């Protein structure tokens, strides 16, 4: 059984997990808040190491990443567990487990097997760690990503951003791109809706940006919960001011799930917030919703440069250097 690097001894009978801001104190034989990391014999064991709940090739746009190798497929893997408790969780059957034994069909893989599978997929860009929260799968994700990078595959993490600075710093060395949730913009919302704090998420996003990794931000819009216009405007201004107006923001439509019965987000609300966000940001998209706000326009000359119909993506106005073909403004920064 693997031992995690991210813990310290706390007492004779307990350890402290240092992976995420919860910093759980875990007694012998018990698990942390994520329920997938436990104290066995004074060592922190990642119980979900190598356990796979889902494995398939998705369009990169599904992560969602719209400005990272648009139109590519990416081999996507997930496990079980999460360090948050979002009442609206859209993946609760694998994220909110009481015990790993409750999940049917988990299969065991070694990192090399995942990499071998990924490289046999024709035209595959790389590996995405997604579906449940990959932070609580850190040890397996890190080992797999390192091997994937060594043979030239790209690596992507789809995350809530609730991770401590030191583990994220090491992860940045083996991860090319991040899709990060910014679920709301008040401590109250994060506390009530996700049993977490906002500030560590902001710090993670700033750390990813400072490391110059590709990242895009996802905000799930939930009516009457995180759609206060003033707060939303503050969030958008923070993204623009702190991270840059070229930061990609996805406003995603919520559907009733898990513990939340609030009706689904209306198109009118998404359109209104899209308009507000577009005052400060160059690239704002609507997710989980049929919309013309899925295309990419050059922020300088307004040319249509990427057309998206569902997950069908066509680059219509981008040159080989990732610039607008008409005015040469940089659109795709990874090139
Ligand atoms: S990763 Fe899990 S065990 Fe570690 S601090 Fe976070 S919730 Fe607790
Ligand atoms: S962070 Fe994501 S996976 Fe975890 S509970 Fe929240 S919505 Fe679900």
Looking at ligand 1, which residue's alpha carbon is closest to its atom 5?
A: 23
**Comparison of pLDDT for 64 and 335, the residue scoring more:** 64
Residue ranges and CATH numbers for the domains of the chain are 7-46 (no CATH), 51-293 (3.20.20.70), 295-335 (no CATH)
Ligand 2, from 82, 85, 257: best to mutate by most atoms within 8 Å of Cβ? Answer: 82
Distance 221 CA to ligand 1 centre (A): 26
Give the C-alpha separation, 221 to 231, whole Å.
12
Query: What number is the average pLDDT over the span 206-212?
Result: 98
158 lines ligand 2 (CB under 6 A): no
pLDDT of 202 reads 98
The answer to whether residues 220 and 91 touch, using CB atoms and an 8 Å cutoff, is no
Average pLDDT over residues 282-299: 92
Stretch 167-184: mean pLDDT? 98
> In this structure, how many other beta carbons lie within 10 angstroms of the beta carbon of residue 249?
24
Looking at residue 178, its pLDDT comes to 98
258 band by pLDDT with thresholds 50, 70 and 90: very high
At 103 the pLDDT is: 87
The mean per-residue pLDDT over the stretch 273-279 comes to 98
Distance, CA of 94 to CA of 90 (rounded, Å): 10
| Cβ neighbourhood burial of 185 (10 Å; 0-12, 13-18, 19+) | buried
pLDDT band at 1 (very low <50, low <70, confident <90, very high): confident
Q: How far is ligand 1, taken at its centre, from the CA of residue 168, in Å? A: 14
pLDDT at 97: 85
Q: Measured in angstroms, how far is the CA atom of residue 13 from the centroid of ligand 2? A: 30
Residue nearest to atom 8 of ligand 2 (CA): 89
* Matching residue, tokens 């966000």: 277
> With 90 as the cut, is the pLDDT of residue 290 above it?
no
| Each residue's pLDDT tens digit, 99-139 | 998 888 899 999 999 999 999 999 999 999 999 999 999 99
Q: What is the pLDDT of residues 38-93, one digit of tens each?
A: 999 999 999 999 999 999 999 999 999 999 999 999 999 999 999 999 999 999 99
Confidence of residue 296 (pLDDT cuts 50, 70, 90): very high
Predicted local distance difference test score (pLDDT) of residue 289: 84
Averaged pLDDT, 145-164: 98
pTM of the predicted structure, to 2 decimals: 0.98
Contact partners, residue 268, CB within 8 Å, separation at least 6: none
The residue with greater pLDDT, 122 or 290, is 122
35: confidence class by pLDDT, cuts 50, 70, 90: very high
**Residues β-bridged to residue 217:** 180, 249
Does the C-beta of 83 come closer than 6 Å to ligand 1? yes
**Distance in angstroms (rounded) separating the CA atoms of residues 300 and 54:** 41
Using the structure block, give the residue that is written with the tokens 């997990």: 17
Coil, helix or strand for 302? coil
Per-residue confidence (pLDDT) for residue 302, from 0 to 100:
98
Strand partners, 247: none
Give the contacts of 321 (CB within 8 A, at least 6 positions apart): 335
Q: Which of 86, 61, 93, 111 is nearest to 250 (CA)?
A: 61
Ligand 2 in reach of 84 Cβ (< 6 A): yes
Ligand 1 nearest-atom number relative to CA 33: 7
Gap between the Cα atoms of 282 and 77, Å rounded: 31
Is 80 exceeded by the pLDDT of residue 228?
Answer: yes
Task: Give the alpha-carbon dihedral of 42, 43, 48, 51, to 10 degrees.
Answer: -120
Q: How much distance in Å is there from the Cα of 134 to the middle of ligand 1?
A: 12
How, if at all, do strands 51-52 and 107-108 pair?
Answer: antiparallel
Question: What integer best gives the mean pLDDT of the chain?
Answer: 97
Instruction: Give the mutation target among 84, 198, 259 for probing the ligand 2 site: most ligand atoms within 8 A of CB.
Output: 84
Residue 253 Cβ inside 6 Å of ligand 1? The answer reads no
CA atoms within 13 A on the CB side of 273: 29
Residues 21-34 have pLDDT tens digits of 999 999 999 999 99
Residue 104, pLDDT score: 83
User: What whole-number distance in Å separates Cα of residue 218 and Cα of residue 252?
Assistant: 7
């Amino acid at each position: 059984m693997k031992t995690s690097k991210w813990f310290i001894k706390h007492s004779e009978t307990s350890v402290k997990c240092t992976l995420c801001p919860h910093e759980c104190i875990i007694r012998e034989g018990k698990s942390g808040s994520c329920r997938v990391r436990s104290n066995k014999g004074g060592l922190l064991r990642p119980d979900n190491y190598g356990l796979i709940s889902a494995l398939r090739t998705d369009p990169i746009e599904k992560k969602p990443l719209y400005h990272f190798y648009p139109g590519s497929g990416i081999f996507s893997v997930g496990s079980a567990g999460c360090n948050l408790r979002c009442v609206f969780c859209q993946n609760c059957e694998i994220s909110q487990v009481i015990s790993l034994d409750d999940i049917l069909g988990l299969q065991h893989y070694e990192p090399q097997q995942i990499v071998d599978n990924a490289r046999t997929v024709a035209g595959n860009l790389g590996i995405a760690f997604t579906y449940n929260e990959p932070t609580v799968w850190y040890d397996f994700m890190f080992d797999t990503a390192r091997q994937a990078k060594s043979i030239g595959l790209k690596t992507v993490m789809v995350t809530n951003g609730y991770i401590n600075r030191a583990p994220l710093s090491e992860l940045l060395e083996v991860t090319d791109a991040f899709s990060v949730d910014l679920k709301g913009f008040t401590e109250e919302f994060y506390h009530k809706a996700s049993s977490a704090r906002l500030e560590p998420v902001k710090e993670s996003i700033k750390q990813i940006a400072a490391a110059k990794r590709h990242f895009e931000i996802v905000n799930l819009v939930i009516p009457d919960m995180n759609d206060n216009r003033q707060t939303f405007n503050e969030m958008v201004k923070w993204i623009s001011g702190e991270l840059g107006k070229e930061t990609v923001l996805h406003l995603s439509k919520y559907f009733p799930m898990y513990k939340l019965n609030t009706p689904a987000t209306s198109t009118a609300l998404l359109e209104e917030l899209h308009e507000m966000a577009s005052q400060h940001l160059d690239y704002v998209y609507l997710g989980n919703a049929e919309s013309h706000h899925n295309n990419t326009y050059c922020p300088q000359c307004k040319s249509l440069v990427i057309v998206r119909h569902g997950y069908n993506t066509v680059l219509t106005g981008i040159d080989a250097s990732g610039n607008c073909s008409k005015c040469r403004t940089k659109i795709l920064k990874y090139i």
